[in-house]
Amino acid sequence: MPDMKAFETEALLERAQQDCAPVFARFAQTEQTVFARVLLQMQQAQVGARHFAPSTGYGYDDVGRDTLERVYAGVLGCERALVRPQIVSGTHALCLALFGLLRPGDTLLSAAGKPYDTLDSVIGGASGEGSLAEWGVGYRQVELTSDGAPDFAAIRAALSGDVRVVLVQRSRGYAWRPTLTLEQIGDICALVHAQCPGAAVLVDNCYGEFTQPQEPSAYGADVMVGSLIKNPGGGLAPTGGYVAGRAALVERVACRLTSPGIGGEVGSYAASYRPFYQGLFLAPHVVSQALCGAALCARAFSLAGFAVHPAYDMPRGDIIQAVRLETPQRLIAFCQAVQAASPIDSFALPEPWDMPGYAHQVIMAAGTFVSGASIELSADAPMRPPYIAYWQGGLTYAHCRHAVGEALRAVCGVK
Ligand X SMILES: *Cc1c(COP(=O)(O)O)cnc(C)c1O
Query: Which residues in this chain contact ligand X in the complex, by CB under 6 A?
Result: 89-91, 116, 118, 169, 171, 173, 204, 206-207, 227
Min separation Cβ 338 and ligand X, Å: 17
- List C-alpha distances in Å: 377 to 22, 27, 230: 23, 18, 11
CB 357 within 8 A of CB 333: no
CB 64 within 8 A of CB 55: yes
Measure the N-to-C terminal CA separation of the chain; round to a whole number of Å.
Answer: 8
Could you give the CA distance from residue 166 to residue 201 in angstroms, rounded to a whole number?
A: 5
CB 308 within 8 A of CB 323: yes
Min separation Cβ 90 and ligand X, Å: 2
Cβ closer to ligand X: 158 or 168? 168
Cβ closer to ligand X: 204 or 222? 204
Cβ closer to ligand X: 91 or 121? 91
Cβ closer to ligand X: 116 or 397? 116
Burial category of 198 from C-beta neighbours within 10 Å (exposed 0-12, middle 13-18, buried 19 and up): exposed
Cβ closer to ligand X: 171 or 289? 171
Min separation Cβ 173 and ligand X, Å: 4
What sign results for the dihedral spanned by CA atoms 34, 79, 188, 165?
positive
Cβ closer to ligand X: 93 or 300? 93
Min separation Cβ 136 and ligand X, Å: 24
Could you give the CA distance from residue 291 to residue 200 in angstroms, rounded to a whole number?
A: 30
Cβ closer to ligand X: 173 or 293? 173
The residue with its CB nearest to ligand X is 90
- C-beta contacts of 180-183 below 8 A and 24+ residues apart: 180/112, 180/150, 180/317, 181/315, 181/317, 182/212, 182/214, 182/216, 182/218, 182/219, 182/317, 183/219
Could you give the CA distance from residue 407 to residue 404 in angstroms, rounded to a whole number?
A: 5
Min separation Cβ 168 and ligand X, Å: 11
Angular region, 400: left φ>0, alpha ψ -120 to 50, beta rest: alpha
Could you give the CA distance from residue 82 to residue 101 in angstroms, rounded to a whole number?
A: 14
Cβ closer to ligand X: 54 or 352? 352
Min separation Cβ 128 and ligand X, Å: 16
Min separation Cβ 104 and ligand X, Å: 25
- The DSSP call for residue 219 is G
Min separation Cβ 320 and ligand X, Å: 7
Instruction: Please list, in sequence order, all residues whose beta carbon lies within 8 angstroms of the beta carbon of residue 11, skipping any fewer than 6 positions away.
Output: none
